[in-house]
A and B are shown apart, each in its own frame.
Chain A
């Protein structure tokens, strides 16, 4: 499997995790409140990510020590292997992704409890996500690689969105 296929597979797995997460969180939200449930989820998520972060940096440290001891000549080579990382340091705003994340919970609980209901909230949210990410890619906003959007790309967008629409509305019946 080449690396681009692997990334697509990873993205699909990401969606799978998201679906399971939403199912668990909404069950918790039904017992508590949406905001309380999301607060718990974020606290537990922060602890989980902290553990993972420490594990990963420990593994990276061990790897670095190993490559250094095996050949001191190749130290410049090992730094090149992590070239996918942006060499520029992270801007302050890039640490604040959790802020809009928290807003999502509040907005969603407003619209789900309005006359829109669950399905329309989901479909309209999908529309918002696609439009937003189109703009981000096209203009290369927020440090993302600029990828001009062309008409050809609209066919897969149309297929995926129509498929989602069919399934979401069918389920609400």
Chain B
């Protein structure tokens, strides 16, 4: 069963990549804002089906009062999500799928570190610093490689 979950988690990463790439293709023709709109529209419609389905099977249902009880700012996730898809659809057409994945993940993890900065111990801090350093070095390395390959192309 464990192997099944591992495979599903890896597959999920692939599905994330698939969604970003498809949005990137739409962005090539129609621009990143249109890509973000259709991504959220189709996502909302398909999740509506899922919501109705699980409501029908009554696994989980959500009362209206429940919806209103939530902190208002948690609903802003959707606004930020719309901006995120705009940014991602734009960059994937410029730097390709691999680089945009690497840089987006780097930004995501580094922000995660900043969002909850705490250092329970020195070892903890050292490991975090090493991780942050490795990510920054990797991004730098990737940027340098880009410039080198451009230079080679222009001289040949």
Interface residues of A (CB under 8 A from B): 4-5, 7-8, 10-25, 27-28, 31-33, 35-50, 52-53, 56, 84-86, 88-91, 93-108, 110-111, 114-116, 120-121, 124-134, 136-137, 141-145, 147, 149, 152-153, 155-160, 162-168, 170-171, 173
Known: A32-B62, A84-B93, A132-B13. A167 touches B78 (CB 8 A): no
Which 7 residue pairs across A and B have the least CB separation, nearest first?
A128-B13, A15-B107, A44-B78, A98-B42, A159-B138, A163-B134, A98-B43
Known A8-B103, A124-B13; further 6 A-B contacts with Cβ < 8 A: A8-B95, A17-B80, A35-B47, A49-B39, A114-B5, A156-B142
Within the complex, what minimum Cβ distance (angstroms) separates A131 from chain B?
7
Evaluate contact between B109 and A105: CB separation under 8 angstroms: no
Contact B13 A125 (CB under 8 A): yes
Cβ 8 A contact of A160, one of B47, B86, B127, B134: B134
Q: How large is the interface on B (under 10, 10 to 19, 20 to 34, 35 or more residues)?
A: 35 or more
- Asked if B50 and A35 sit within 8 Å, CB to CB, the answer is yes
Q: Which of chain A's residues have a CB closer than 8 A to the CB of B29?
A: 85-86, 88-90, 94
Are the C-beta atoms of A98 and B19 separated by less than 8 Å?
yes
Digit string of B34-53 for contact with A (CB within 8 Å is 1, else 0)? Answer: 11111111111111101100
Q: Are A132 and B93 in contact (CB under 8 A)?
A: no
A133 touches B105 (CB 8 A): no
Contact A48 B21 (CB under 8 A): no
22 contacts between A and B (CB under 8 A): A14-B103, A14-B104, A15-B110, A16-B108, A20-B115, A31-B74, A35-B60, A36-B51, A37-B74, A39-B44, A46-B41, A52-B82, A97-B23, A97-B42, A100-B19, A100-B22, A102-B50, A128-B9, A143-B25, A144-B25, A157-B102, A163-B130
Contact A101 B39 (CB under 8 A): yes
- Cα A5 to Cα B103 in complex, Å, equals 12
Q: Nearest Cβ distance between residue B75 and chain A, in whole angstroms? A: 6
Asked if A104 contacts B15 (CB within 8 A), the reply is yes
CB distance from A43 to the nearest CB of B (A): 5
B residues 69-91 near A (Cβ < 8 Å) are: 69-71, 73-88, 90-91
Residue of chain A at shortest CB distance from B137: A159
**Cβ-defined contact, A31 with B138, below 8 A:** no
Encode contact with A along B51-64: 1 for CB under 8 Å, 0 otherwise: 10010000010100
Contact partner, A33, options B19, B41, B60, B113, Cβ 8 Å:
B60
A132 touches B18 (CB 8 A): yes
CB-based nearest A residue for B123 = A170
Chain A residues with Cβ below 8 Å from B93 are 84, 144
Contact (Cβ within 8 A) B109 A107: no
Whether the pair B101, A129 counts as a contact (CB closer than 8 A) is yes
Contact in complex: B26, A167 (CB < 8 Å): no
What residue of chain A has the Cβ atom nearest to residue B140's Cβ?
Answer: A156
**Are B98 and A137 in contact (CB-based, < 8 A)?**
yes
